[in-house]
Amino acid sequence: MESFEDLLNMLERPAAKSSRAVKRKWREIEAVKERQRLRKELEDIDFSFDDDLIEQLM
């Protein structure tokens, strides 16, 4: 999986991209953000949260 910063850098590069490709990247970024929010929420709920659990769910 690409890191969040890599995805942002891809969007900032000047290139002849179709709007469809740009929208797809933004959806990928939103998915990464949602996984980060979920991970943080699970950690807040359970202090013994195992990071491997989230990887199994994804």
Other Cβ atoms closer than 10 A to 8: 13
What is residue 5's predicted lDDT score, i.e. its pLDDT?
76
* 28: confidence class by pLDDT, cuts 50, 70, 90: very high
Spatial separation of the C-alpha atoms in residues 41 and 46, rounded to whole Å:
9
**Residue 1 confidence (pLDDT) above 60:** no
Task: Please state the rounded mean pLDDT for residues 22-36.
Answer: 91
Phi, psi angles (nearest 5°) of residue 42: -65, -35
Task: Please state the rounded mean pLDDT for residues 44-51.
Answer: 68
